Amino acid sequence: MSEQARARAVEPPFLIVNPKAYLGSADTLKLATLTDELAADFNVDVIFTAQHVDLRMVNRHTTNLTITAQHMDPIVKGRGMGHILPDSLVEAGAKAVVLNHAEHQLSLATLDATMQRAREVGLATIVCADTDTQCRAIATMNPDMMICEPTAMIGTGKMDAGDYISRTTTIVKNINPDILVIQAAGVTNGADISRVLNQGADGSGGTSGIVSNPDWRGVLTDMFTAIANHKQKA
């Protein structure tokens, strides 16, 4: 078992719940405690992201979630007014950080430095990529996880009609099979999740497919069920 595998923040198949900036603090806490309850019921690991200001609160009120920051900066203690200090995320209970999301893109040098900082403070890295070319380049950087998603699909509620999921998952796994691959673009229910897991992904879930659904418990239960079923089969 490799170092990386042992240090895994989550075990596949897992769920990602990524409310981005869709929810205020109270709603984030509501979604987090609900997800936490279901995570225990279904015995499924969960990446749960939140606004930086809410990370400590979510951590205090849950026990089964891998608390994840939505971004951080490659700074050390010192200057950096208005930037996100990695060390404080750890103190707040974060175990992972998403980097290079399509809505917050980083230069390659900054991404490199930020991944280095993540390793120094002990945060798992979840790095986003869009095209095959980007997936390949990022995979060589050995993040713990990757979110492969066609930028054009984000927030549409529609999944890629072609072979994006299996193709990009294979690209990543061929470079480093230890990288956990998340495919979540356009995913809105359990059937979608079953599909991407069957196509090789290690994790799935989403943002608008969950938070925009009026029945959070319903959609999450459907998603957890799909993952638990997939786990059983394995």
Residues in touch with its own copies (CB under 8 A): 18, 20-26, 28, 51-57, 69-71, 75, 77-85, 87-89, 91-92, 94, 98, 100-112, 115, 129-131, 133-134, 136-138, 140-141, 151, 154-155, 207
Nearer to its own copies by Cβ, of 181 and 226: the residue is 181
Contacts of 71 (CB under 8 A, 6+ apart): 52, 84, 97, 98, 99, 101, 104
Q: Minimum distance between the CB of residue 92 and its own copies, rounded to whole angstroms?
A: 5
* Torsion sign (Cα): 78, 83, 84, 86: negative
Least spacing, CB of residue 108 vs its own copies, in Å: 5
Cβ at position 183, least distance to its own copies in Å: 16
If you ran DSSP here, which 8-state letter would residue 94 be given? -
| Shortest distance in whole angstroms from residue 43 CB to its own copies | 28
Comparing CB distances to its own copies, the nearer of 12 and 74 is: 74
In terms of CB distance, is 10 or 55 closer to its own copies?
55
Q: 40 or 152: whose CB is closer to its own copies?
A: 152
Task: Give the DSSP letter of residue 215.
Answer: -
- Checking 172-177 for CB contacts under 8 A at 24+ apart, the result is 172/135, 172/136, 172/138, 172/139, 172/146, 172/148, 173/200, 175/136, 175/139, 175/140, 176/139, 176/140, 176/142
